[in-house]
Structure 1
């Protein structure tokens, strides 16, 4: 049986409440769906809903045209459960707004637990500076689809 990349991403994944994780997921075929302002805002709403449900505390996030980066502190549940909820509901909302159906997100997601000694502020800055590095804006504050509790 073949061993797919999404299976390697799950290898060794552990969900620990109180732990900080950087999560990344990509739009299927890297289509820049979230270049549309209103579709990006639908995704932002779903990020915030996870926090309202008390599953995670968002520390920072950015919605790029074809992917997201999200720094969370896990409160309860598993990373898989949070991402399944987020991706399912955001796909439903975006597809409804676009009048289409089908897959929005690539299978799987990337996660990285932050070590205690890591500079969390540096990770936050890296996340919110993504639009700047991608050449989408000249100043981070000019990009509409990011937030961070630290900045």
Structure 2
């Protein structure tokens, strides 16, 4: 799907919950198999949460992509949040791996949740990714996820 097609219909509403997915530029690189790289990506989600730009509800970092469920704050658009997240995480990952170049695909997928959608069910779907991928048999054994309902 072309990048511009992903932006069609995108709107921003503070306090609305968004489910976003962003993927590594080279999926086969799987940078987040490295524990430290995954923690660098997680730290940037936490930084945006702590700054009040988003209210993180759930997330999981897989080897080649990130799923993140959050409520958008008052100060930034969804695109600004994702641009900041991807830029900061890429800078740290590239520094740690002593490499240059794109870390992320240009686009990201987003879904603005409707009122009738069950936020907790979507959070469960997100954090169950490692189970569905066969990486662990118990989600507690996977180190790169969190949800506010714990």
TM-score, shorter chain, exceeding 0.5: yes
Count of matched residue pairs: 148
CA distance in 2, matches of 1:48, 1:75: 14
Name 1:109's counterpart in structure 2.
Answer: 108
Give deviations 1:99-131, integer Å, cap 9, x for gaps: 111100001100001111111111010000000
Superposition deviation, residue 93 in structure 1: 0.2
Give deviations 1:76-112, integer Å, cap 9, x for gaps: 2101000000000000000000011110000110000
Give deviations 1:5-54, integer Å, cap 9, x for gaps: 11011001001001000010000121211000011000010010111121
CA distance in 1, matches of 2:37, 2:10: 30
Could you list the runs of 4 or more consecutive aligned residues of structure 1 that deviate by over 4 angstroms after TM superposition? none
1:23 aligns to 2:17 (yes or no): no
TM superposition score normalised by structure 1: 0.96
Unpaired segments ≥5 residues, structure 2: none
SS in structure 2 at match of 1:59: strand
Unpaired segments ≥5 residues, structure 1: none
Q: Give the RMSD, CA atoms, in angstroms.
A: 0.8
TM superposition score normalised by structure 2: 0.96
CA distance in 1, matches of 2:2, 2:58: 26
Name 1:127's counterpart in structure 2.
Answer: 126
1:75 aligns to 2:97 (yes or no): no
Name 2:99's counterpart in structure 1.
Answer: 100
CA distance in 2, matches of 1:84, 1:121: 26
Superposition deviation, residue 150 in structure 1: 1.3
CA distance in 2, matches of 1:42, 1:29: 18
CA distance in 2, matches of 1:83, 1:107: 10
1:10 aligns to 2:16 (yes or no): no
Within a 5 Å distance, the mapping from 1:48-67 to structure 2 comes to 48-67=46-65
